[in-house]
């Protein structure tokens, strides 16, 4: 459970992500998707400390996060990244004054040069549109290009578990399709386990092994991608139909 002051952001929420799967979490704005991702990645710990220093909103966290048999709830975000838990945050945050290659190099600080070089090549093969833009400042990229760069930065860290927080948000259907293909490629080519959150379910349900609906921080419905896609309530709420 996660509280922001007296507001309950996550309530008795439990999810299992098995190795090699793509698992989806579907929910509307303010349903708790980003809080879930920040909690798993450990960013919620940094948020809690910053709020405490400035005398701001009190954040309280209860529960367990079991990763590879270990409870990592109190583990710092930096050490979670070293264990392989990497978050690509919503709204594609990049370093706008740094070029594309510079952003990737920043993300490679935990990797050996040989490992980083291999992943640079993988990212540019995965997102060929970025290859001719290596020296362009990230702030001058389109929204879709920034999202590709953001995912590329997460991949440079060689994740075991990749957390994608609303990667399709605000993008055109064409760019969404490119990203969906890339995400499926990650599973097949690298064997990365992926947890993805989205508000609009239609593009991601066909590719997920299993998923759930989150409402007001609570688990409302679970099923396979096919089961959720065929559910009339899910269609009405999250398909835009």
Q: What's the confidence (pLDDT) of residue 240?
A: 61
Q: What is the pTM of this model?
A: 0.93
87 beta partners: 163
Q: Give mean pLDDT, residues 201-226.
A: 93
Q: Is residue 102 part of a domain?
A: no
Q: Is residue 241 over pLDDT 60?
A: no
138 with 100: CB under 8 angstroms?
Answer: yes
Distance of CA 104 to the CA centre of its chain: 17
Separation of CA 181 from chain center: 16
**Tokens encoding 64:** 């367990």
Degrees to nearest 5, angle at CA 196 with 194 and 200: 150
Q: Which CATH number do you get for residue 212?
A: 3.40.50.300
Q: Which DSSP symbol is given to 157?
A: T
pLDDT score recorded for residue 132: 97
**CA nearest to 209, candidates 219, 222, 200:** 222
Mean pLDDT of the chain: 91
161-165: strand order across its sheet: 85-88, 161-165, 193-198, 22-26, 210-215, 218-224
Average the pLDDT over 190-204 and give the result: 91
191 pLDDT band, cuts 50/70/90, is confident
Q: Which secondary structure element, helix H or strand E, spans residue 212, and what is its range?
A: strand 210-215
Which structural domain, as residue segments, surrounds residue 195?
Answer: 2-92+158-238
Q: How, if at all, do strands 193-198 and 7-10 pair?
A: unpaired
Burial letters for 58-97: b for 16+ Cβ neighbours within 10 Å, e otherwise?
ebebeeebebeeeebbebebeebbebbbbbbbbebebeee
Q: Are 26 and 201 in contact (CB under 8 A)?
A: yes
Please report the pLDDT score of residue 142 as a whole number. Answer: 93
Q: Check residue 14 and give its pLDDT.
A: 92
At 31, give phi and psi (nearest 5°).
Answer: -80, -20
The verdict on residue 127 lying in a domain is: no
How high is the pLDDT of residue 68?
Answer: 93
Tell me if 124 is assigned to some domain.
Answer: no
The answer to whether residue 196 is domain-embedded is yes
- The answer to the question of residue 123 being in a domain is no
Report if residue 134 sits inside a domain: no
Residue 237: pLDDT band with limits 50, 70, 90: confident
Question: Does 114 map to a domain?
Answer: no
CA gap 108, 117 in Å, rounded? 9
Work out how many domains the chain is built from and give that number. 1
Do residues 231 and 22 lie in contact, with contact meaning Cβ atoms separated by under 8 Å? Answer: no
**31-41 pLDDT per residue, tens:** 999 999 999 99
Residue 118 falls within a domain, yes or no?
A: no
Query: pLDDT tens for residues 104-114?
Result: 999 998 778 88
Mean pLDDT over residues 114-125, rounded?
90
Q: What is the per-residue pLDDT for 90? A: 84
The pLDDT, as a whole number, for residue 207 is 93
């Amino acid at each position: 459970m996660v509280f922001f002051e007296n507001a309950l952001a996550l309530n008795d929420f439990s999810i299992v992500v098995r190795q090699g799967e793509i698992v989806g979490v579907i929910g509307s704005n303010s349903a708790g998707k980003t809080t879930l991702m920040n909690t798993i990645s450990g960013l919620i710990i940094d948020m809690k400390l910053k709020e405490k220093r400035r005398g701001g909103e009190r954040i309280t966290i209860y529960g367990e996060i079991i990763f590879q048999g270990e409870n990592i709830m109190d583990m710092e975000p930096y050490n979670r990244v070293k264990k392989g838990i990497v978050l690509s945050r919503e709204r594609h945050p990049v370093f706008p004054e740094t070029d594309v290659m510079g952003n990737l190099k920043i993300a490679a600080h935990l990797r050996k040069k040989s490992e980083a070089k291999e992943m640079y090549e993988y990212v540019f093969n995965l997102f060929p549109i970025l290859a001719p833009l290596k020296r362009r400042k990230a702030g001058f990229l389109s929204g879709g290009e920034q999202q590709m760069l953001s995912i590329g930065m997460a991949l440079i860290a060689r994740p075991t578990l990749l957390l994608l927080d609303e990667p399709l948000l605000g993008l055109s259907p064409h760019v969404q399709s490119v990203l969906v293909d890339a995400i499926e490629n990650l599973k097949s080519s690298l064997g990365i386990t992926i947890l993805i959150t989205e508000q609009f379910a239609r593009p991601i349900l066909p590719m997920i092994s299993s998923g759930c609906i989150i409402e007001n921080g609570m688990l409302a419905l679970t099923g396979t991608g096919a089961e959720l896609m065929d559910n009339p309530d899910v269609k009405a709420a999250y398909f835009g139909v």
